[in-house]
């Protein structure tokens, strides 16, 4: 079921506010167009993971703990490398979207500031 126009606008406003309030969290949770999957990383990672599985099986077959642990480490490193995202264009997006001068406050701090501003406006 698609979102209505009003819901889409609200969602865009919430997303914009989240990026302004806590950009580090927003970037880690969202899909940033500057961060993409690298085919090279995936291929190399999968090959390393397969080599690690092979080493692990060789270690079990030879009953050699060192080779088995090494295989497990290589396999884990391959999976980690395959799931890494490349960060092309990050420096440009930081400079364009960031506020300069004032350090960024946390999400809760901004909520507290807004609450204080509302309280000041009341008689």
- pLDDT 10s digits, 61-103: 999 999 999 999 999 999 998 888 766 544 444 444 444 444 5
Position 30 confidence tier, pLDDT thresholds 50, 70, 90: low
In the chain, where the domains are located: 36-85
Strands 35-37 and 85-87, how do they pair? antiparallel
pTM above threshold 0.75: no
* Per-residue pLDDT, 95: 41
Confidence at 40, pLDDT banded by 50, 70, 90: confident
Per residue in 55-68, pLDDT (tens digit) is 999 999 999 999 99
**Is 46 within 8 Å of 78 (Cβ atoms)?**
yes
> What is the total residue count of the chain?
123
- Most confident by average pLDDT, 20-34, 45-59, 80-94: 45-59
Q: What gap in Å lies between CA 91 and CA 11, rounded to an integer?
A: 26
Cα distance between residue 121 and residue 123, in whole Å: 7
Two structure tokens written together for 15: 């997303």
């Amino acid at each position: 079921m698609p979102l209505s126009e009003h819901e889409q606008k609200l969602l865009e406003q919430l997303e914009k506010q989240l990026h302004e309030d806590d950009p580090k969290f927003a970037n880690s949770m969202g899909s940033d167009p500057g961060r993409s999957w690298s085919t090279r990383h995936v291929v190399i990672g999968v090959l390393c993971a397969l080599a690690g599985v092979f080493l692990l099986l060789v270690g079990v077959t030879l009953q050699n703990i060192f080779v088995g642990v090494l295989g497990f480490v290589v396999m884990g490193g391959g999976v980690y490398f395959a799931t890494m995202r490349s960060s092309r264009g990050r420096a440009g997006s930081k400079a364009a979207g960031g506020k300069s001068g004032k350090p960024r406050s946390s999400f809760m701090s901004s909520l507290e500031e807004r609450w204080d501003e509302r309280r000041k406006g009341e008689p």
